A and B are shown apart, each in its own frame.
Chain A
Amino acid sequence: MTIKNTLGALAMLAMAAGPALAQAQYGPGASDTEIRIGNTMPYSGPASVFAVNGRMIAAVIARANAEGGINGRQINFISYDDAYNPARTMEQTRRLVERDEVLFIAAPVGSAHNIAIQRYLNQREVPHLLLLAGGTRWNDPQTYPWTVSGLLSPYGLEGYAFAQNAVAENPTASIAVLYQNDDLGREYLEGVERGIEGTGATIASALSFEVVDPSVDGQIVSLQATGADTLMLFGVPRAVAQAIRKAADLGWTPARYMGSVASVIQTSLVPAGVEISTGIITSATQQDASDEAFQQTQAYRDYMDTIEGYYPDAEPTNGSVISGYNTGHVLLQILREAGDTLTRQNILDVARNLSTVNAPLMLPGIPLATSPDNYQMIRGIQLERFNGQSYDLFGDVVEF
């Protein structure tokens, strides 16, 4: 009997003897005492408003560490600034993988930024999980088996749900679309196009804008001139807020929809003016922390405890803080379920086989799961309407 066979037999014996004797298996970045996880965040630069996601994930992890860690191991969450520059995201990700030797990469922010690192991480077979970027492109198990989507709703499916709602309200809706001239905006637009296929509704006009454009007034004037009765706004909060205000200034009162990327009341609707914003429809997947009924729940109390103990500067109603909290909890769930087999392969296997997802601040009824042939974690959205102060949910969860 060769040594190799002996070892194999011993390993089988150990497995047969049950978990008490099982040997822990470690990939890069994991040991008996520590698990290293890598992350990039726009702590500086134009999108630094999203960086609270990273701070909140760090708070969730800090709390888990203080409570004894996961399966006895402390989590070392290494998060670098990429200044919202895809080239920097790539540079920092290489640093995380090659120098810090993290077990996997979790929750990088931004579409272009995740595209920049996707090929590299897949080539090196490093799990690329819980992306803070919406879009259906993160569900491509054939081409990119190591990239599994996160908790942000896919823009295209959101556009699809808006279009269907618009048709239900008005079978011959004439839709004007203002969209951001990039992946995000175009995916929303494609969703709307799919949503009205085979119905009496039409797209009267779809105009784009650049993120750096100081004003979208011109586009709104042109859109109004088409005589459309429905207006859909897909882009950053600044442009959406301007569009809402300009349409109101022009005395134009179409049915209005806006992408969830701009749905934070404080950053879009308050600048635009809450009165003129009343009635606008968007979609939600997360709880609203300003909702009084929700504030009575245990989930809310746990959330506030984490904020008070580990990130007291956080604004509890900020959607990015909430998504950071949810993402942090799914991260802990993956580590917990991976048990003592902390290899990259096992982390991926756990992440793509989640039959339930522990994201405490998602809306009840939003279907969440992953499977090896469908990496889309979020599988339904809820439509909601702004009432002047907060959002009222309406209708059933739209499943995809």
Chain B
Amino acid sequence: MQQVIQLTLSGIAIGSIYACLAVALVLIYKTTHHVNFAQGEMATFSAYVALFAVGLGLPLWLAAVVAVLFAFVSGMVIERVVIRRFHSASATTFVVACIALFIGINSLSGWIFGHDLKAFPSIFGAGTSSVVPFLSAHEVGSIVTVVVIAGLLYLFLSHTSLGLAMRATADNPVSARLSGVPVDWLLTLGWGIAAAVGAVAALLVAPIVFLDPNMMIGVLIYAFAAALLGGLDSPWGAIVGGILIGVIENLAGAYVVGNDMKLSLALLIIVAVLMLLPQGLLGRKTATRV
């Protein structure tokens, strides 16, 4: 029994990190109806920026703030310089552009910061937590962080005029533009916010999996599964999906399919959701008149 509790709690902890990256994917999907395959690599690069800032002598929390701001700005720059050109392109073209970004940023991380595995300190300190049994302070901190981010996003999207304008842009760009909403800038802003949320995910995952240029590749697969399971257009769904995936992965790995098949299970969930429940658990069903 104790083992089940432990596996479940550690699943919630790692799941909350999948959730964080899934939220970043969802934010971009909501505004552009595209999936950003380079999300994980952009996030990894931001984690390197944080480590670099720590190396310059900044305290860790300030380095984390610097990294998130860096991600925010670079996300907007990438949208302006690269992604903008592909907004009206076909889905395939967009995917190819994202893969190019993926490979480019991955190589850039390795080239600038090296390919060695690096230890990454946790903002929440080392050791076990005094609040929740079985979990480390970092794991508890990760769960709390993800809940806070979700809350902030909710407030931003539903209680600020900027958030309202962003939702309008996502729902109906033409009508939004005619009503005077600066659609182009909001798309840029959306990429910036998504990159910043992704950077937070990287800062949470790096102390667990350690930092190297390929850190996010495995995480991204689980984050995709999480985003799809929760519903690609629902930030709340992404969080529920992420935590579910983390728990399912741990429990099924230990008791049902075996650890060899954990990753295959994530891929299986992706396929099953697409076939049986394309809108996901909390996503909105959409119909297009043809």
Contact = CB atoms under 8 A, between A and B. Distances in A.
A217 B3 contact: no
A46 B215 CA distance: 10
Contacts of A219: 253, 259
Interface stretch (B81-89, B177-185, B204-212): B204-212
A209 B117 contact: no
A266 B117 CA distance: 8
Interface string A207-250: 11110111101110110010000000000011001100000011
A49 interface: yes
Interface string B219-258: 1011000000000000000000000000001100110001
Nearest to A225: B3
A266 B116 contact: yes
Q: Among B115, B120, B222, B250, find the residue whose CB has the most chain A CB atoms closer than 10 A.
A: B115
Interface in A182-226: 207-210, 212-215, 217-219, 221-222, 225
B34 interface: no
Contacts of B128: 249
Nearest to B2: A225
A270 interface: yes
A250 B6 CA distance: 10
B75 interface: no
Q: Would you call the interface of chain B mostly helix, strand, loop, or mixed?
A: helix
A237 B115 CA distance: 12
B7 interface: yes
A388 interface: no
A316 interface: no
A238 B209 contact: yes
Given A44-B110, A181-B260, A249-B136, A214 B3 contact: no
Interface residues of A, number: 32
A218 B11 contact: yes
Interface size class of B (residues with CB under 8 A): 35 or more
A149 interface: no
A221 B250 CA distance: 10
Contacts of B218: 210, 212-214
B80 interface: no
A205 to B, nearest CB: 11
A221 B209 contact: no
A118 interface: no
Q: Would you call the interface of chain A mostly helix, strand, loop, or mixed?
A: helix
A238 B210 contact: yes
Interface string A76-119: 00000000000000000000000000000000000000000000
B217 A212 contact: yes
A355 interface: no
Contact of A221 (B7, B212, B217, B219): B7
Interface string A117-151: 00000000000000000000000000000000000
Nearest to B221: A212
B74 interface: no
A268 B116 CA distance: 10
B46 interface: no
A212 B263 contact: yes
A213 B218 CA distance: 6
A210 B210 contact: no
A386 B205 CA distance: 27
Interface of B: 2-3, 6-7, 10-11, 14, 107, 110, 114-120, 126, 128, 136, 205, 208-210, 212, 214, 217-219, 221-222, 249-250, 253-254, 258-260, 262-263
Given A212-B218, A221-B3, 7 more contacts: A44-B107, A207-B259, A212-B221, A218-B254, A241-B117, A272-B119, A273-B126
Interface of A: 44, 46, 48-49, 181, 207-210, 212-215, 217-219, 221-222, 225, 237-238, 241-242, 249-250, 266-268, 270-273
17 contacts: A44-B110, A46-B217, A49-B115, A49-B212, A209-B259, A210-B263, A214-B209, A215-B208, A218-B11, A218-B249, A218-B254, A218-B259, A221-B3, A225-B2, A225-B3, A238-B212, A273-B126
